[in-house]
Structure formats: structure tokens, C-alpha cells
Amino acid sequence: MSFRRLLRLWQGALLSIVGIVATVWLGVSGQLGLYIHPRYFVFTMVMAVIAAALVVVAFALVPAAEDEHELPGDDGARWAWLWSAGSILIIVSATVGLLVLPPATLTTATVAKRDLNGSTSIITQKEASSLVGGDYSTFTVRDWSSLLRQGAGEDFFADKTATVTGFVTPDTSDPENVFFVARFVVSCCAVDAQPVGIPVYYPGWQDEYPVDSWVAIESGFATNPSINSEEFIALVPTTVTPTEQPAQPYVY
């Protein structure tokens, strides 16, 4: 059987194998959470095993086809080689993207395409009431951003201290003085991830903390001193501590 014929028959199977190996590796290495919600871990791993079994069955049952015969100089042969080159490029790209390059979290590039503190941070009055009076030391970026979005007033935040960790993304209304300490909320997978964040007033932050770097902040809230920012209340820390990206960078 010619190489081109073999490639045409098994391109799908090879791509499936790459995807299966990548999924199992992410699950075993504990990095599957970079792409899907933890509640789908077991389902995803089971489906990967089933897919692997189906690929084995496909190799066993698909009959070998006879070689194709092409005349020298035939235009069809040239197009066939072009198709083969494209198929190889696709397989190599998938292998590099899924198995060679390290998994990466979502970044500010994604924040720019989605609504920061949009619908994900909207909570019901009942949910807001359950947060009020709770253990504020355990509140996540999502909890605080939800209360800010809900419209909790300055009096409510006056005596509250937030202890949060997130990545740095600029406040587009005043990028010189304000950034958001942000996280992504994942409901199903990274495709539906929505960014949430708490505004932080820290003039000149760019000189110390690059966009997408991770920081830890313990600070109280205050009226945002920025005259340009659209955020009325913000964290106003005296120090911001650089930190490593946590093993689980998303919130659920």
C-alpha cells in the first residue's frame, strides 16, 4: 500500500490517538483542570479509554485497500502529494500543540475578548445574603467581585479585608493606576470561562508587576482614588506580593 493511501486511511485514527494520549496525560498529571471543570474529570477519562478501544477496533477491522495507480506526470499525483503534505502538517501540529507544548492557563488576551465581571459575577439576592456575614477570610475573587457587582455600598466594605490571589490585568479605563486581580470562572470548560476581578488602585503597577503575572493581596477596600477609573470601590494595598500561579488557577 502506498504511503499516501495509508495516510489517507489512518489520518483520523492518528489524530484520535494524539488527542487520547494528551487527555490521559493531562488527567494523570493533574492538569486536566486547566481545560475542564473537575466534575467532568471521570467522564472525560472514561471516554478517552472508550475512544482508545474504538481506535484499536478500527485498526483491526478496516480492510487494507489496494494501492492506487498513478501515471507519471499525472496532475492527480501532484495534488495527492500536496494533500499528503497537508495531512502530515496537521498531524505534526496536533502532536506539538497537544503533547509537546506545556499546558497554559487563560490570560489577559482572553479577558480582552470577554466581559470582565459580566454575567458570571451576577448573583441573586439570596446568594448575596448568604455571603454577607460569612467568613470573609475565605472569600475568593469571585465572591468579592460578585458583591461589588451586586452594588454593596462603601459602608459595607469599610471594615472588610480581602485576602486574594489572582493574575494581573489592566483596568482599561485607567490602566496607569488601576489593575484587576483576576481569575477565570469555569462552568464547564475553558471555552466558557468568564473573567472576574477586583479593582486594585496601585499607581505605577506596570513597573513591578507584568500583565498576567500572579500576585497575592491582603488589603482593605476604599473609595477608588482614581479620577478616570469606572470602578467606584477598589482595594488600596500598601504592598502587593508576587506569587506563583496556583496549581488550580480557576474558580468554580
Q: Please indicate whether residue 94 or residue 147 has the higher confidence score (pLDDT).
A: 147
Asked if the structure places residue 210 within a domain, the reply is: yes
CATH at 154: 2.40.50
Nearest partner of 160 among 178, 147, 150, judged by Cα: 147
In the chain, pLDDT over 90 holds for what percent of residues? Answer: 33
Confidence check: pLDDT of 231 > 70 = yes
Averaged over 209-234, what is the pLDDT?
Answer: 95
Name the average pLDDT for the chain: 81
Whether residues 71 and 178 fall in one domain: no
- At residue 78 the predicted structure's pLDDT band, cuts being 50, 70 and 90, is low
What does the alpha-carbon distance between residue 69 and residue 173 come to, in Å, rounded to a whole number? 65
Domain that holds residue 121: 109-243
Beta carbons within 10 angstroms of residue 205's beta carbon:
21
Range in 48-52, 85-89, 220-224 the model is least confident about: 85-89
Averaged over 74-99, what is the pLDDT?
Answer: 63
Confidence check: pLDDT of 53 > 60 = yes
Confidence check: pLDDT of 77 > 90 = no
Asked if the structure places residue 26 within a domain, the reply is: yes
Nearest partner of 84 among 18, 14, 26, judged by Cα: 14
Asked if the structure places residue 66 within a domain, the reply is: yes
| 191 half-sphere exposure, CB direction, 13 A CA radius | 1
Which stretches of the chain are DSSP H helices?
3-28, 41-61, 75-95, 108-111, 125-131, 141-150, 154-157
Confidence check: pLDDT of 110 > 80 = yes
Q: Which residues of 7-24 are buried (b: 16+ CB within 10 A; e: fewer)?
A: bbebbeebbbbbebebbb
Q: Give the number of domains in the chain.
A: 2
pLDDT in tens, 117-172: 876 555 544 455 556 666 787 888 988 998 888 777 788 888 889 999 999 999 99
- At residue 234 the predicted structure's pLDDT band, cuts being 50, 70 and 90, is very high
Asked if the structure places residue 79 within a domain, the reply is: yes
Boundary (domain end) residue, out of 100, 118, 142: 100
Asked if the structure places residue 250 within a domain, the reply is: no
Boundary (domain end) residue, out of 72, 100, 128: 100
Whether residues 121 and 234 fall in one domain: yes
Whether residues 189 and 226 fall in one domain: yes
- At residue 15 the predicted structure's pLDDT band, cuts being 50, 70 and 90, is confident
Asked if the structure places residue 45 within a domain, the reply is: yes
- At residue 243 the predicted structure's pLDDT band, cuts being 50, 70 and 90, is very high
DSSP category for residue 97: I
SS3 176: coil
Boundary (domain end) residue, out of 65, 100, 135: 100
| Residue recorded with cell 494524539 | 18
Beta carbons within 10 angstroms of residue 185's beta carbon:
19
